[in-house]
A and B are shown apart, each in its own frame.
Chain A
Amino acid sequence: MSSVILTGDTSGTLTLSAPLVAGTNTVTLPAATGTISLLTQGTAVASTSGTSIDFTSIPSWVKRVTVMFNGVSTNGTSFFLVQLGDSGGIENTGYGGSGGSGTGGNANSAGFIVSANQAAAGIYSGIATLANVSGNIWVISGTTTGSGGYVTTVFGGNKELSATLDRIRITTVNGTDTFDAGSINIMYEG
């Protein structure tokens, strides 16, 4: 027997499969009660147009979201902003925290500042990690760096949503600068 198939109470199946190549392998589960989850990667979005990029339909069981910036650029100098949302839409108030670099720092209650965008020519990469404290309270932590001599930004913050997180938006503080290079993606796990 190479697999065991479990039929869901209402629909679908779950298949547990052994490796195709024979061997003696052991998977030991920890002494804990909960739900098995996997690290799920979203669909990368080219940040080459528009004023914002949204990731939606994030599952309710997620406890950590990693936002990845790959050579992201805009046509202006407005700082990059990460905003969270729920079934009521993206929330643009009530954020605590700041992003700082060797040339200064900024805080913005409309979202988490994740990059001190120094110049329109700056190309930024890095990681922002969102973690769920409890209920609808989320914290962010991370660093981004601009290539071509532009600054590294260290950032952190916290935000309590009005409902369960199900979406993330990457935009700029002024909301009008447009993305013109790179890509952005997320990974989530629970």
Chain B
Amino acid sequence: MAITLNGSAGVTTNSGAVYDGISRGTVVTASGTSVDFTSIPSWVKRITVMFAGVSTSGTSNRLIQIGSTTFTTSGYSSYAMLTGSSSIQAATTGVTAGFVMATNTAADVIGGSMVLVNVTGNTWASSHATSLVTTNASFGGGYLALGGTLDRVRITTVNGTDTFDAGSINILYE
């Protein structure tokens, strides 16, 4: 038996439950030039964007954008690095169009996740560590003071024209 606490109707009992510690979106097979997750609740403080074998047709760095009603495409502070054969490589510098994830070749396949956390108000910070088959791994971080309450996440590329051609993407939010 479960209890439902309803602000209007009072206390009732039924067979449902009331709260999910971690909510999961609907998994999306990566295709097109972008993948969107919308209707993210206003109470969310952490979002995990998960990449399972994701690939694109080109070499443009992957980009994660967040938004409030519409996607925000400027104002980010974001950097990413690549682990290389003999050194850590500075792969991106000062990307402002989104939270960037470095890539190197079209053959790169992403496995791993980016975590977005709510610092305070509408300010969000990102951190990621992901595999890239041909260049080992990408890692980086960033932040954005969003103009309103976050309700959406977009996965795309810096040039906006490379297409996703493999893998699946989903989010966890809490």
Give chain A's interface residues, CB within 8 Å of chain B. Answer: 6-9, 29-38, 63-64, 96-107, 129, 131-135, 137-143, 154-158, 160, 189-190
Chain B residues 94-144 with CB under 8 Å of chain A are 109-113, 115, 128-133, 135-139
Given the known interface contacts A137-B168, A143-B129, the answer about A64 and B111 at a Cβ–Cβ threshold of 8 Å is no
Which of B20-28, B56-64, B67-75, B149-157 lies at the interface with chain A? B20-28
Q: Is the CB of A98 within 8 A of B19?
A: no
| Given known A-B contacts A35-B17, A141-B129, A158-B53, A6 and B3 have beta carbons under 8 A apart | yes
Q: How far is the CA of A37 from the CA of B130 in the complex (A)?
A: 27
Report yes or no: A32 in contact with B19, Cβ–Cβ below 8 A.
yes
B112–A139 CB distance below 8 A: yes
**B19–A105 CB distance below 8 A:** no
Q: Per DSSP, are chain B's interface residues mostly helix, strand or loop, or mixed?
A: strand
Pick the contact of A158: B5, B23, B51, B137 (CB < 8 A). B51
Expressed in whole angstroms, the minimum distance between the Cβ of B14 and any Cβ of chain A is 11
Of residues A7, A100, A189, which shows the largest number of chain B Cβ atoms within 10 Å of its Cβ? A100
Give A102 to B84 CA distance when docked, in angstroms: 6
Query: Contact at A64–B1, with CB atoms within 8 Å?
Result: no
Q: Are B16 and A33 in contact (CB under 8 A)?
A: yes
Q: List 28 A-B contacts (CB under 8 A).
A: A6-B1, A29-B5, A33-B16, A33-B20, A34-B17, A35-B21, A36-B18, A36-B19, A36-B21, A37-B22, A96-B109, A96-B133, A97-B111, A99-B137, A100-B84, A100-B137, A101-B136, A103-B86, A107-B133, A137-B52, A138-B52, A141-B128, A141-B130, A155-B137, A156-B110, A156-B112, A156-B132, A158-B111
Main secondary structure of the interface of A (DSSP, over half): strand
Instruction: List residues of B whose CB falls within 8 A of some A CB.
Output: 1, 3, 5, 16-24, 26-27, 41, 43, 48, 50-53, 82-88, 109-113, 115, 128-133, 135-139, 167-170, 172
